[in-house]
Every structure is written in C-alpha cells, then in structure tokens.
Amino acid sequence: MKKLRPFIGGWWHAGDLASAAEQLHEALRAVGISADLAEALAAINASVEDEDEARRHQIGVAARFANAQLATLGHVDRVRAFGESADFESDEPVWLIVTPAEHAELLSQLGPSEDIERTYDEPGGDPAPPITPKPKAPRLPKNPAELWLFAKNQIDKRNYPLALEAIDRLLSQNYGQDDVVLVELERISTLRSLNRHAEAISAWNVTADAWLAGARNVWRSQWVSLEKLHKQLKLLEGPQLAAIHERIKTAPQ
C-alpha cells in the first residue's frame, strides 16, 4: 500500500473561525477541491459548545464537501474516517484520503470511525447540506478502569444502552482476570434491563460454562449472583445450576 495520506495536517482552535477555514481550505486544495466553508463552520460553532468536539465537526463538514466534489469529478479517492491510532500524533479519530481498496485494508488496522466522525463519513459524496450537530452521548473512556466506572455510572442512571456499549468494549479488551467476572455479571444484568431476554439467557449460559470450566477466578458471592440471575431470567434447572450450587459450597469467601 502506498504511503498514508492524512486529510488534515494542522491544528486550530474551533472558535477561531478564520484559522479553521484556512486550515480546512488548505486540506481541500490538497485534493483539488475548493469550497466556501464559512457558513457551515459558523453554524457548527453556534450548535456545539465543546471546542474539541466542534473541531471534529468542522473536519467532518470539510470531508463531506470534499467527497461530494470528488464524486462529481469521477475520482475514486475519498476522505474517510478511521479510529484513533498511535501512528498519528492525535487523540482523535484520523481522516485519510484513500481508495476503496485502501479503505477496506485500513479498517482492519485502524478500526472504523467513531461517534462524531461516523456522522460525516459519507463515501458516496452526497452533496447534502452540513448536518446540524445533535447532542452526543458521553464519549467512552479508553482506560479500562475508567471505562468500568463509566459503565457502572450509566447503570446507576439507567442509561443501559451506553452501559452495555462500555461493558462490551471492556470485554473486547480482555479486562483483568480478577475483575472480568464482575463485568460479565453486569452484562447479563444489563441485557435483562434492556429486555433483551434471549441475549441475556445466551450470555448467562456462556458465562456459566466459562466459570464452571475454570476459566475465571470466582468468589462465592459471584457464584451467588450468577445463581440469582438464573432465577431472574426464569431459566429451567439443569446440570449447570446443580454445578453452581456445588461451587457455592466450596468457593472462597
């Protein structure tokens, strides 16, 4: 694959519209595109209070303008968003100029775009007017410990969809052996709170099998919690539950 081609190479304060326009117009000129973004950038600043988020919206708008014109001109290149990467000195998702083949390959390396960027990641280049930003859900922390506290906080607020997203991200990161059992219990409980009954039952069975196979360090109180979830999900008694009853008798306090 040829060298990666970043769409944005500079930094600016979103509230400085002149600086934002200058940097974004330079990025557009680099791909042979010209556009007047002044009105769109001002609309974003009027809608988004957080400066870091406003900057990301501004880049997204420029990307939409670029893709609209690239499509009109018949070019195969598009400005596409990817996940954050250590390859770039940035703490936000990266925008690259790519062909369809490059986009498919880089997705496996950098991951897909996130929240704000996903709103603007339009490969078809539909020349729709800039999207008026809507309030966004809190962004998920990256640090596993912070992510776990975030999930618990969302559960306390009964914001179960966001809690489940945080829990699933934790599990995908192979959260610590000693703590993962707590995350697995919360996942079952959260699915139940979302009335996703079939998924909750499936998660309970997968969790019970893993624990009974010795894949986790499980305390007595955690076996008891798994047993309670079995009752709450109104599952039938069987070998798994019988084995769990035995573990409750012998597990460390």
| pLDDT tens column, 132-183 | 555 555 678 888 888 889 999 999 988 899 999 999 998 888 766 567 899 9
- Tokens found for residue 160: 């179960």
Give Cβ neighbours of residue 142 (< 8 Å, ≥ 6 apart).
Answer: none
* Ramachandran region, residue 163 (left: φ > 0; alpha: ψ -120 to 50; beta: rest): alpha
How many Å apart are CA 166 and CA 139, to the nearest integer?
A: 10
Q: What is the per-residue pLDDT for 128?
A: 46
- Characterise 158 by phi-psi region: left (phi > 0), alpha (psi -120 to 50), beta (else): left
**174 in Cβ contact with 196 (< 8 Å):** no
Q: Burial code of 104-143, b = ≥16 C-beta within 10 A, e = fewer? A: eebeeebeebbebbebbbbeebeeeebbebeeeeeebeee
pLDDT for 42: 87
Name which of 65-79, 89-103, 130-144, 166-180 the model is least confident about: 130-144
Residue 124: predicted pLDDT: 66
Predicted local confidence at residue 122, as pLDDT: 76
State percent of the chain over pLDDT 70: 89
Residue 215, number of CB atoms within 10 A of its CB = 13
**Cβ distance 163 to 190 under 8 Å?**
yes
CATH architecture of 144-250: Alpha Horseshoe (1.25)
Q: With contact defined as beta carbons under 8 Å apart, do 188 and 204 qualify?
A: yes
Instruction: Give the C-alpha separation, 184 to 111, whole Å.
Output: 24
Among 79-93, 211-225, 237-251, which is the least confidently predicted range? 79-93
Look-up: residue for tokens 């000129």? 29
Query: Using the 8-state DSSP alphabet, how is residue 80 labeled?
Result: E
Least confident of 11-15, 112-116, 130-134, 246-250: 130-134
Buried b vs exposed e over 155-188: b needs ≥16 C-beta within 10 Å? beeebbebbbbbbebbeeeebeeeebbbbbbbbb
Q: Please write the tens of the pLDDT for every residue from 202-235.
A: 999 999 999 999 888 899 999 999 999 999 999 9
Residues of the chain with CATH 1.25.40.10: 144-250
Q: What is the pTM of this model?
A: 0.50
